[in-house]
Structures are given as structure tokens and as C-alpha cells.
Chain A
Amino acid sequence: MSTITLTLKESPSVPLETEVITPDTVADLSRSEIAALTVYHGKRVCRLDDFFDIDGEKSEHIEIHGDLHRVRMIGKGMSRGSLSITGNVGMHLGAQMSGGTITVNGNASDWIGAEMTGGLIRIHGNGGGQIGAAYRGSLAGMRNGTILVDGTAGLEVGMRMKRGTIVIGKTVRDFAGLQMKGGTIVMLSGAEIRTGAWMNRGTIISCQPTQVMPTFAYSGAYNPTFVNVYAKHLTQYGIDLPYKVSAGTYSRYAGDMGVSGKGELLVWNPV
């Protein structure tokens, strides 16, 4: 399997917008065509090879190396293939993507997989805010797909998401699942505050004790069957979601009553 390798020459001085770095764009392009793709360095219109050394051509598998924290929109809208990134990466990674896989060995900034409709994003480091969220003013965030973050995450994770799965390994900041309409957020290490605020539907699972909004009503403890199914599904990514009755139960909180929501927050209580 051939691969296109992009190596950042040096970190740009201001944000670099590179929505052209997707498998869809480069799949049929020669090396020189890839080199000539347009990127925006601040207000300047530049070529991709002004910033990247390019190796390989005509492939839907891309590897990117370098300190990409100011490089934004990588993989935006991609529908197939793979992107493998080594280094920290900037905002809007995989936003609005519909398929394919993105892997990051490093941290990623805000808006990972925002408004995505399909595909898989896996961040081995920390994620920023607004993961899988809706852009300002939009009615819906991610509509399907999977986002897995091993580390921490920022504000408004899964804001207005409709379907799909987000799993965060370490602590999540405020407003996880804000105005959520469906889908599942798993917080392996719990969250700070205001989890599930204004959620209408959907499920938030916290594997650690976490603060519950006063507008959520406790409605019993149990071991829902679907968590069982979910846990088995997540084992393929090496994620360990507790579900065994022998190990504990989930406390179920229904809300958000502030919006007459029918969402649920499940908090794991180990035996």
C-alpha cells in the first residue's frame, strides 16, 4: 500500500489552513500536483510545498509529521482513506468528515470531528474543546461516526450531537453533551461540571463519580443491557467499559429537566 508522506518544514508563524490535506483531494494527484495545492498562511495564498516536504503520490493514505499545532482543517470533509499524524495538530481536524480514519499520535486542538457524519478519529493524546460539536448557530453536531480521545478533553464535547460515539479517556471539562440530541458520550474519568446541560436525548456514561446538574433526577441504579453491547463494541479499540453486575451498577439520572429532556446520565458505582 503506497503512502503519501507530508513533513512540515517548520511550524508556521500564524495559522495555516489546509483543508486540501484529505485522501479525497490527493488520491489521484501526482507529486507535483499535490505540491501545488493551495493553502492559506494567514492572509497569504501559498502552495502546500511552501510548508511541507512531500513524498509519494496517488494514494488515499497520508502520513503527516511535524509540529502541526497551527495547521488547521486537516482531513476536513474527507470520505475515505486514512490520515496518520505524528505530532500535535491544530483545530478542525476531521471536521465534517463522512468516512475514513484519522489517527493522531499527539494532541489535537478544538473542533475535532465537528459536524462529522461518519468515520473514525482516534487521538492518542489530549483533545480540545467542541469535539464532535455543532458550529455556532448550527442545529446539529456530529450525526454519526466515532471519536476516541485517550487523554483529556475541553469544553462542550459533543455539543448538539445527534448520533455517533465519543469516548474520552481522562477528565472532560464543562458542558459535555451540551444540548445533546442523541448518540453516546463515554467519559472514562468523569467530567468537571454541567455535564449533560440542556440535553434532550442521548446517553452520557461516566465511569467515575461526576458532578450532576440539579436539573437531573435520580431514577434508580441498574445495569442496562445496551452498555453490555457497547462495552463489547469498544473492546476492539482497547477501551474497557465496566458493565458486569458483579463489578457494580450504574446510577441513572434523567434530564435535563430544564428543557424537558429525555436524556440520561449513567454514573458507574463499583461494588
Chain B
Amino acid sequence: MSELKIINNATCTFCGCVCDDIQLHSDGNRIHKAVKACVLGKAWFLNHTGDKKYPDAIVDGKETSVEEAIQVSADLLYDADMPLVYGMSNTTCEAQKECVALADQLCGLLDSHTSL
């Protein structure tokens, strides 16, 4: 286990309040403490780890590489007549911009959690 580092004024993205006054104590693989976080925020920070819990990628139920999965995804989206890009709640603005660009490039549908 590497040395414990403290991150001040970290931002919690569990809910829409997006508190930015959290102090995180992390060993790089696991967050041990999330000071000032609420119950929901604590669970959010403490439940994620740097462990490899899941396969990198799965296609048709079989484990595969990210690169392979990206190629399959690109083929499927490209071949579709009306692809849909949806979600974008639990992700960064930078990823969201890529998603809008994807829907634009695909001439597809684009929608977020807001419409639910």
C-alpha cells in the first residue's frame, strides 16, 4: 500500500449538489476517509477502488480488450439507421462533449437523464 495522500477541496459528484469541500484520504487504490461528505457522499467515495473488479470489456458475453470493444461499438453505431446516445449523468463534462460530438457525427438521437 502506497503512502496516504490527502486531497483538499475535492468535488463529490454523487448528487446534483456537487459539494466541493470534501477532504479525501486516499492510498491511491482506496479512499479511506471522506471528511465533510454526507452519508451518500461517503458511500460514493468509499465504495470505489482501484482494483480490477470487472473485465476491461465484454462483447457478446465474452471478455475482450477495450480496443476490440471500441471497434465493435463503432461498427454497430455506424451501421445503425437511428442510433441513440443516452445517459451522461455520472460522467465528466469532457466525456459529455465527446458524446454530443458522437451523436452529431452519427446523425443520431441525443438525450440525457433530464428527459426521464
Binding site for B on A (CB under 8 A): 13-15, 41-44
What A residues does B108 contact at CB under 8 A? Answer: 43
A192 and B107 alpha carbons, distance in the complex (Å): 38
Most chain A beta carbons < 10 A, residue from B80, B82, B106 = B82
A44 and B108 alpha carbons, distance in the complex (Å): 10
Q: Which partner residue on chain A sits nearest B106 by CB separation?
A: A43
**What is the interface size of chain B, counting residues whose CB is below 8 A from a CB of the partner?**
7
**Which residues of chain B (81-116) have a CB below 8 Å from chain A?**
81-83, 106-108
A14 and B107 alpha carbons, distance in the complex (Å): 13
State how many angstroms separate the Cβ of A148 from the closest Cβ of chain B: 32
Q: Which partner residue on chain B sits nearest A12 by CB separation?
A: B81
Binding site for A on B (CB under 8 A): 80-83, 106-108
Extra contacts, 11 of them, besides A14-B82, A43-B81 (Cβ < 8 A), are A13-B81, A42-B80, A42-B81, A42-B82, A42-B107, A43-B82, A43-B83, A43-B106, A43-B107, A43-B108, A44-B81
State how many angstroms separate the Cβ of A238 from the closest Cβ of chain B: 40
Q: Which partner residue on chain A sits nearest B83 by CB separation?
A: A43
What B residues does A43 contact at CB under 8 A? Answer: 81-83, 106-108
State how many angstroms separate the Cβ of A195 from the closest Cβ of chain B: 26
Most chain A beta carbons < 10 A, residue from B106, B107, B108 = B107
What A residues does B83 contact at CB under 8 A? Answer: 43
Q: Which partner residue on chain B sits nearest A44 by CB separation?
A: B81
What A residues does B107 contact at CB under 8 A? Answer: 42-43
State how many angstroms separate the Cβ of B104 from the closest Cβ of chain A: 11
A43 and B106 alpha carbons, distance in the complex (Å): 8
What A residues does B80 contact at CB under 8 A? Answer: 42
A42 and B108 alpha carbons, distance in the complex (Å): 8
State how many angstroms separate the Cβ of B48 from the closest Cβ of chain A: 37
A44 and B80 alpha carbons, distance in the complex (Å): 10
Pairs A–B under 8 Å by Cβ, sample size 16 = A13-B81, A14-B81, A14-B82, A15-B82, A41-B81, A42-B80, A42-B81, A42-B82, A42-B107, A43-B81, A43-B82, A43-B83, A43-B106, A43-B107, A43-B108, A44-B81
8 nearest A-B pairs in the assembled complex, by CB-CB distance:
A42-B82, A42-B81, A43-B107, A14-B82, A14-B81, A44-B81, A41-B81, A43-B81
Most chain B beta carbons < 10 A, residue from A13, A14, A41, A43 = A43
